[in-house]
């Protein structure tokens, strides 16, 4: 996505101080709502993990982690996390968390290979969450019920925000719409995946697209997913594949489909082996995390990440993520934004 400069953009907050107060309100309200909806305990999480253990998120498999030697460990390499998708599952196993309960944390990551635009930055902050489930919960019904709870937490936050900041008028629809990526492809066969997202989210306002990562009917995935956390390949009860997806909202400021969360039921033993084979990554089965999963030493889980700055940006009707978080921006972007009334931190 290239930089979008909305015509007649108007910052709804009179000062940086008021914006900062609103950011804190969103974060305080939402994490409380999320914790209550999903029965989650807040835990502390690492920003750095050891290299070579399979703990870091490979994202689409091409993004480079920030890696450095650790003097106290004999210069053994470590890397800044991309996300905590796999670490959380290990943590749940260590804590002995029972089905129906889970954890969430403030995840801070660096993704230096991101293409910077209105919604992408080098620094990534998320509420990373993970919940233990039973084997029989590996269904679309369970996934949909979980998504609805997250969406309800977002809606409650928007409504409470309106009470404190009346300029933020609620826009979210009452219900979220579900569609599989293959159904979406069949509906808009001549469009690219991003163009399909634009059409469906513009129509419904809030959409969860299921089955992201596996090849669709045209042989192309809707979007990339690593092979070793979300289950995007297991046949589901709707006749398609996958128990994961993305939650998108229609952003009236940028006039785009705005992704706020990626999540899903995680791989079990069969799904992990199948997906590693699909991606020709069978050698990963020998890594620490993967060995534990294949040995049945990790719980069945569902989890995901919800962008903190992304959600604040959406709910506060901002045009650029740099209005929410301090970051590094190309000078030409900073100047173009300022000319459009968008001040980047």
Catalytic residue from among 35, 121, 262, 275: 262
Catalytic residue from among 126, 275, 308, 309: 126
- Enter the tokens of residue 16: 């940086």
Catalytic residue from among 35, 83, 111, 310: 111
Is 246 a residue of the active site?
Answer: yes
Is 259 a residue of the active site?
Answer: yes
Is 233 a residue of the active site?
Answer: no
Is 57 a residue of the active site?
Answer: yes
What is the DSSP code string of 289-328? Answer: HHHHHHTT-S--EEEEEEEHHHHHHHHTT-S-GGGTS---
Q: How far apart are CA 275 and CA 271, in angstroms?
A: 6
Catalytic residue from among 31, 57, 223, 225: 57
Q: How far apart are CA 307 and CA 98, in angstroms?
A: 26
Is residue 50 exposed (0-12), middle (13-18) or buried (19+ Cβ within 10 Å)? middle
Is 231 a residue of the active site?
Answer: no
Q: How far apart are CA 328 and CA 235, in angstroms?
A: 42
Q: How far apart are CA 198 and CA 63, in angstroms?
A: 25
Catalytic residue from among 79, 128, 246, 251: 246
CA distances from 217 to 109, 180, 222 (A): 34, 12, 10
Catalytic residue from among 259, 261, 268, 325: 259
CA 206 to chain centre: 15
Residue numbers annotated as active site? 57, 111, 126, 246, 259, 262
């Amino acid at each position: 996505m290239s930089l979008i400069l909305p015509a007649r953009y108007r910052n709804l907050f009179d000062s940086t101080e008021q914006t900062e107060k609103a950011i804190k309100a969103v974060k305080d309200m939402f994490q409380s709502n999320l914790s209550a909806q999903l029965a989650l305990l807040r835990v502390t999480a690492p920003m750095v993990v050891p290299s070579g253990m399979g703990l870091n998120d490979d994202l689409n498999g091409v993004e480079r982690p920030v890696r450095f030697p650790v003097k106290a460990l004999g210069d053994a390499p470590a890397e800044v996390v991309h996300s905590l998708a796999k670490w959380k599952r290990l943590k749940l196993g260590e804590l002995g968390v029972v089905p129906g309960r889970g954890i969430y944390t403030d995840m801070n990551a660096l993704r230096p290979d991101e293409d910077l635009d209105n919604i992408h930055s080098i620094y990534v902050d998320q509420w990373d969450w993970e919940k233990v489930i039973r084997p029989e919960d590996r269904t679309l019904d369970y996934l949909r019920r979980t998504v609805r709870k997250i969406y309800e937490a977002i809606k409650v936050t928007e409504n409470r925000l309106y009470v404190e900041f009346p300029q933020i008028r609620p826009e979210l629809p009452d219900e979220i719409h579900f569609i599989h990526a293959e159904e979406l492809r069949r509906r808009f066969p001549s469009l690219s995946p991003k163009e399909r997202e634009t059409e469906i989210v513009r129509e419904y306002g809030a959409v969860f697209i299921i089955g992201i990562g596996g090849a669709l009917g045209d042989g192309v995935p809707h979007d990339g997913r690593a092979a070793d956390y979300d289950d995007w390949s297991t046949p589901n009860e709707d006749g398609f594949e996958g128990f994961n997806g993305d939650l998108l909202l229609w952003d009236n400021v940028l006039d785009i489909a705005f992704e706020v969360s990626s999540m899903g039921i995680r791989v079990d033993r069969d799904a992990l082996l199948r997906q590693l084979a699909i991606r020709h990554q069978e050698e990963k089965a020998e890594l620490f995390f993967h060995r534990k999963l294949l040995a049945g030493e990790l719980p069945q889980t569902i989890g995901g990440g919800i962008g903190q700055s992304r959600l604040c940006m959406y709910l506060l009707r901002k045009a650029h993520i740099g209005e929410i978080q301090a970051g590094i921006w190309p000078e030409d972007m900073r100047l173009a934004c300022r000319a459009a009334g968008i001040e980047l931190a």
